Every structure is written in structure tokens, then in C-alpha cells.
Amino acid sequence: MFIRLKTLRNRRHPIKLNVYMLIILIVILNFIIFAFIERQIAPSLLAIAEARARIIATEAINKAVKERITKNIKYTDLIAIHKDVNGQVTLIQINTIEINRIETETSLEVVKTLKEISMENIKIPLGLITGSKILSNMGPLISVSLYPVGTAYVDTSEAFEEAGINQTRHKILLDITAQVKIVQPLLSSKVEIKTSVPIAETIIIGTVPQTILDFKR
């Protein structure tokens, strides 16, 4: 009887050993498959996430600045046009104090806006990574988070466009630069957002004086 029990115990040891080996093999195999899939899809996923983040952030910034900053700004608040006795423009004077105030206010508003959109995750269908139009909306959704990085940099620039015979459209723009960080398990990247928002414009009749070419100098 003792010999039979001992024999049964000896038989169980190989079975346990085989189960352990099978579990280890499955874990190793899953790790290899996971690493391979991640290596294949990570670049595509990152590129799509960066593109989505850039679009979302740019649209949010443009909307916020137009609705909360530039809505009540007039050209005459920023620029003073001086003419001679013949009605020709001789000098365009910049209101630097007002422009600096707008830049500061815009910078704070942009940071606030980026914090607001960071509360919402970007959902990317796994099928979109394949590049196929048929599969683009299929598969599980991959969640990507957005976080603002640092502060926003705002500068003011101007642009001149022909608006007709002897007429020039003078535009004042806010040039905004900010960064957001996209985060997804095992992936992260910083995306730079650049956009220009027109805040005021007017039509200048006659020759544009050289004195306005050095804007904010």
C-alpha cells in the first residue's frame, strides 16, 4: 500500500511540472506577441494621436480667443492712423500698451482652454491604424489623454493684402504657440500647437507708409 501511494505521488510531480512549464510558455508567448504588436502599431498610433491632438487644440484655441478675447476689439483700439492735409496716410501708430495687454490676456486664456480640453480623452478606433477606409471605425477604442505643457506664447504680427486699386487691407494677428502632451499607456509625446488669429483689420487707401513696416519694434 505504501509503495502504491509513493508511486502515485511520483506520477503527480511530472504533471505539475508540465503545467508550470505550459504557464511559463504561455506568458512568454503572450509577451512576445504583445511586444510585436506594440512595435508595429505604436508609430501609427502616435502619429494619429498627434494629428488629432493638434486639430482639437487648434480649434479650441481659435474658438476661445475669438469668443473671449477678440470679440470686442476694434482696429482703432490698436492702431492710430495719421493723415496729411491731402488725406494721405503718413503714419500708423501702434498702441503697444493695449497690444501687450491683449497678448497677456490671450496667453492666460489659451492655458485655461488647454486645461479644459485635457478633461476629455481622445478616442481612436484601432481600425484607423490600419489605414483602411473600411476598417477605420472598427475595433476597440484606444483612449489618449491630453495635458497642457508649460505656458502659451503669444506675439502680435501684421499682414498686408491687396484689396483693390490703390487699397491695402491691414490685418493685426495674434500668433499663438503652445504645447500639449499626449499620454497613452506605454506611449507619450509632446505636440506643438501654432495658430494665428486675426483680431482687427482695416482698409488703407493710398500708399502704405514705410513707418508701419517695423511692427512692434
Model confidence pLDDT, tens digit, residues 17-40: 566 777 778 877 767 766 655 666
2-11: which pairs have CB atoms within 8 A and are 24 or more residues apart?
Answer: none
Q: How far apart are CA 107 and CA 77, in angstroms?
A: 19
Contacts of 13 (CB under 8 A, 6+ apart): none
Above 90 in pLDDT, residue 176?
yes
Query: Which burial class, exposed, middle or buried, applies to 85 when counting CB atoms under 10 A from its CB (0-12, 13-18, 19+)?
Result: exposed
The DSSP letter of residue 134 is T
In the block, residue with C-alpha cell 477605420: 136
The more confidently predicted of residues 108 and 13 is 108
The more confidently predicted of residues 46 and 108 is 108
90-99: which pairs have CB atoms within 8 A and are 24 or more residues apart?
Answer: 90/209, 90/211, 91/209, 91/211, 91/212, 92/170, 92/204, 92/209, 92/211, 92/212, 94/212, 94/215, 94/216, 96/216, 99/156, 99/216
How many other C-beta atoms are found inside a 10 Å radius of the C-beta of residue 77?
A: 15
Query: What would the mean pLDDT of 124-129 be, rounded to a whole number?
Result: 65
Stated pTM of the model: 0.70
Distances (CA, A) of 39 to 35, 43, 86, 109: 6, 8, 71, 38
